[in-house]
Structure 1
């Protein structure tokens, strides 16, 4: 399998480079460079202290960590967040506390996952009709709950 290179520029002295926790993991861990308190129901942008340069024809998806969601009801908004190939600003993570108690984000804490995926650039063509399918226009629960 071809390996692609994710270039990372550390812009904060305490920044931790994204890394895979285990062989075969899909997501690289992202870490906080700041300490802050997320009150119940509160949303904040948490800084990672890094900028990235993605491989050509890829995007990065910022996804929640299941342990934070299960144990603390803390997750991400705008999930998955998309980082386009041309973006060169600091990677930030939009966190929300759905829990009943405040949650402390600590410096160096794993706060999200970064999954790098290929993208397809498609052409756009206006048509007067679309092909028929079994599902058709049904959506939002049209296939039932079981």
Structure 2
């Protein structure tokens, strides 16, 4: 499988892997900007992506996750917690970062801002039904398992 990456700006950086076994590819900012305190800002990456040579009858999506260092040290994390890039999307990859602190945070072009993980997804056939199978848990919700 290949991740094809098209640069949309001169300041774009091709995603990289932090180590040989890293699950995610680091995404980089393609612009200088400030994320105001307790605010969200859409950060341009300057890239568009597509997958090539995926197994037949398989479907994939690209998921944008926080970089733990950025979230823990700087208080910047994806606003939607996990971003989803559909397999057929060809526009610019944008990362919406939320500043969880009381101070503005500066992002510079070339800064690592998130990580991109490719995952297999299923496309089930959706059907309406009158009944669902019973389980021991049943309809117990939040905290119902006692853990």
Structure 2 counterparts to residues 64-143 of structure 1, below 5 A: 64-143=66-145
- Residue 73 of structure 1 deviates from its aligned partner by 1.4
Q: Which of 5, 8, 23 lines up with 2:5 in the alignment? A: 8
4+ aligned runs moved over 2 Å, structure 1: none
**Superposition RMSD on alpha carbons, in Å?**
1.1
Give per-residue Cα distances to partners, 1:60-95, cap 9 Å, x unaligned: 001111111111211111121111011000000000
- How many residues in Structure 1 have an aligned counterpart in Structure 2? 142
Could you tell me which runs of 5 or more consecutive residues in structure 2 were left unpaired when the two chains were aligned.
none
TM-score where L is the length of structure 2: 0.92
**TM-score, scaled to structure 1:** 0.92
Check the 8 A contact 1:54/1:60 in 2, yes or no.
no
User: Which segments of 5 or more consecutive residues in structure 1 lack a partner in the other structure?
Assistant: none
